Structure 1
């Protein structure tokens, strides 16, 4: 079974994330997409970042009963900051029967060679890359283990969503309905 791993702070998870996850599942050999919720980086304090368990709850609300999506808190118990290669190694050890692929935005492709053990990620896992606005061209886009997918350039910003919430304006259609309900009931981002 092939699993696409979609890492993010998901602060909050929004419709753009869900569109990309669904397109990866529908247009590649991936059977499931796992949302890997990244914990707070202790070196990058962000007062707008909700607690990791609240963000995991929002991801679970967004997924609902879609059996082809899954959330993961694997990084919550790892040393911080956690590097992608370390998370991939932990997941591969835990699920030796699964083939993992990393889902990243095209805006991260040009800086990908700066990632820790990027060659190992490319060789053993490979990348599924979705388009992002204003992305720099990268030689990696033609690499045999990089799969560029056709998807809309969804430019929904979690920053904008948080700003609208603070201003008590509607976030309808920007986040899944279940996520909006959870944000309202818990008073997130006020």
Structure 2
């Protein structure tokens, strides 16, 4: 009986270490990287990921559950382990892989995380995934132009965001590298910078909205 708490702690530590490892990879895989605090994860996260899997012909979508967003107040952010547990419960698909690898790498900004992955796994085809609402603030991200030069980007439409998103500073600056939506299936094989705007998802859900409604 006296050893039970210690045993549970060891298992918890092992689980935490596994959550922070880079998921298995193989040369030639096409992997979407979908970052966020996932506070909470919701059905639109899953819908975005499934749309990207199909339209971009990806093999996996990793949900990069961040330790904290540098552009947001993280004071009330639930622990990473709790958000990972909820993300796993929401994903419910073998190709959707929630991971806390940023905590394992010790990176704070998206550029640093992506640069590390691209450097370590040059034979993997990574694609950055973001909602159209994030494109509006993309020009405020740390080294956003360098990030766009590291890997292709897919922007997934959000309800009410289409026109505003494509008129933002980042969308205008990257405009000449935007490919036609009909060619989205080839995005993962294209050199960066290149990006596509995907329509077809109109979910109004967001983590912010759910927190405002008291869903956590």
- CA RMSD of superposed structures (Å): 2.4
Structure with bigger gyration radius: 2
* Partner residue in 2 for 1:72: 99
SS of 2:127 mapped into structure 1: strand
Tell me how far apart the structure 2 counterparts of residues 102 and 88 of structure 1 sit (CA, whole Å). 9
C-alpha deviation, 1:12, in angstroms: 1.1
* Partner residue in 2 for 1:83: 109
Tell me how far apart the structure 2 counterparts of residues 116 and 21 of structure 1 sit (CA, whole Å). 24
Q: Does 1:147 align with 2:196?
A: yes
* Partner residue in 2 for 1:183: none
SS of 2:147 mapped into structure 1: helix
* Partner residue in 2 for 1:7: 35
* Partner residue in 2 for 1:175: none
Tell me how far apart the structure 2 counterparts of residues 76 and 153 of structure 1 sit (CA, whole Å). 31
C-alpha deviation, 1:142, in angstroms: 5.0
Given that 2:115 and 2:150 are in contact with CA atoms closer than 8 Å, whether structure 1 keeps it comes out as no
SS of 2:149 mapped into structure 1: helix
Give the alignment's TM-score, normalised by structure 1: 0.75
Tell me how far apart the structure 2 counterparts of residues 116 and 57 of structure 1 sit (CA, whole Å). 28
Higher mean C-alpha displacement, 85-94 vs 154-163: 154-163
Runs of 4+ more than 6 Å apart: none
* Partner residue in 2 for 1:102: 128
Aligned length: 164
Give the alignment's TM-score, normalised by structure 2: 0.66
User: Which structure 1 segments of 5+ residues have no match?
Assistant: 167-188
Tell me how far apart the structure 1 counterparts of residues 138 and 69 of structure 2 sit (CA, whole Å). 19
* Partner residue in 1 for 2:138: 112
Decide which structure has greater helix share.
2
